[in-house]
Structure 1
């Protein structure tokens, strides 16, 4: 089934029509810049503009960078801290603006869902943790393929750095501080060693746009778990959002408990 997946981020809002049963994009990815002040009305309007460009009729899946429960945004956007988002029913707002049934989930959850079922996590069992590293740090925990929703490990406080993981190890911080790959890899190593002490994963998958350069920083991460680069890179959020929408309308193996939907106008 082909559905429209949309990934809302701090710098851009991206989308494509996806074959949600294979994880393949069937159109080119389109991108619009995110509104600088990132307020709900502005973000919803940008999403509606993006949807129009696809000339698409059908359900929409959306990933959003915050805790999402049953389609409602429960926290300020991760790593951005823009006000005005607490308890916003984003599924209903986007559905009203576009006229399409809309499913909304945490952006890291939907991205990691794609990676687990169609990417680097396919066929992996046991405890698998997936991290999307960009403006912030998204994370997901899978146990034998079942996800724990809204697993916000980017907010973990790192005592040695006196900052949260997002404030210390995100790709945004790497760029802002001009860190070398070795320096940044050392920060990631500190973070993932802490994660291992808490959760003892069998596999750690690192995604986000920076994962295409994994050969530059993986050598500085020394963990017990198997360390893998994500297969979908920066398209995981789009694919996973479409997968979440499909599951709502036709139940699949990849149930996402934290997602919520609206039936549309």
Structure 2
């Protein structure tokens, strides 16, 4: 294989997946998936990434997409790994303190001796699918709700939409996440997703909205004309193109 080899890892609340990509974002290795074991300290997280890297093969650079607010490779907050028993369970304050402002990108550069970019997972998803024209937004439906914004192909600084209140003392993470779909059923959950899109459209005024993440494939209803559903694999594939986009 010639060209730059990118190790791309997509980190979710239930599983962490990785693969090697060529310069076009095409997979050149089998995907490796590791189930998240809670509680997950930053050091345990680094060990999981190291296991995936070893399984994937030789790489020249790495892209890590993870949930939460990530700024310049530093974890400002992350919603799942700070709990003892997994998403939407009680937060472990000591664990949250260990994650708060953890320099993940710096730690991985030191661990692997290669260039690394650590970003929010929705930003990596979006990098694979945006056209680079206009104001493009991606919502990722998974354990919670991820969000990333691109303006004329440039990554816009992150906002943490998932933690915004929506109704009945719920935040978007709990209102449209996977647990809500399992609890209320697909039909009611789809209506919630459509209401979220309609309610957020005036806030963003996007030219194009993309719906990604593992839960997006479960949507069977008709989506608005300015909304495009994308496969979950783009969460890995965007790991190559994100290097071309400035932030």
What TM-score do you get using the length of structure 2 for normalisation? 0.85
- Does 2:189 match 1:184? yes
Worse overlay, 79-88 or 135-144: 79-88
Of the three residues 129, 138, 144, the one matched with 1:130 is: 138
Of the three residues 108, 112, 118, the one matched with 1:98 is: 112
Q: 1:47-87: per-residue Cα shift (whole Å, max 9, x none)? A: 11111112314211111112111111111336665612111
- Does 2:211 match 1:202? no
Q: CA RMSD in A?
A: 2.0
2:19 is matched with: 16
For the 8 Å contact 1:134–1:172, the answer to whether it is kept is no
Worse overlay, 235-244 or 23-32: 235-244
How do 1:1-265 residues align onto structure 2 when only pairs under 5 Å count? 1-20=4-23, 22-77=24-79, 83=96, 84-116=98-130, 122=131, 125-159=133-167, 161-175=168-182, 177=183, 179-214=184-219, 216=220, 218-219=221-222, 223=224, 226-230=226-230, 233-244=231-242, 247=243, 252=244, 254-255=245-246, 257=247
What TM-score do you get using the length of structure 1 for normalisation? 0.80
Q: 5+ unaligned residues in a row in structure 1: which ranges?
A: 117-121, 258-265
For 2:126 and 2:147, the matched residues in 1 are separated by 8
For the 8 Å contact 1:67–1:150, the answer to whether it is kept is yes
Q: Does the residue aligned with 2:99 lie in a helix, a strand or coil? A: coil
For the 8 Å contact 2:68–2:76, the answer to whether it is kept is yes
For 2:11 and 2:166, the matched residues in 1 are separated by 27
Q: 1:184-218: per-residue Cα shift (whole Å, max 9, x none)? A: 1111122111101212222221111222333x2x3
For 2:143 and 2:203, the matched residues in 1 are separated by 24
For 2:211 and 2:157, the matched residues in 1 are separated by 18
Change (3 A) 1:57 1:17: closer
For the 8 Å contact 2:25–2:239, the answer to whether it is kept is no
Q: Does the residue aligned with 2:117 lie in a helix, a strand or coil? A: strand
For 1:54 and 1:199, the matched residues in 2 are separated by 38
Moved over 6 A (4+): none
For the 8 Å contact 1:128–1:143, the answer to whether it is kept is yes
For the 8 Å contact 1:51–1:98, the answer to whether it is kept is no
Compute the displacement of 1:95 (Å): 2.8
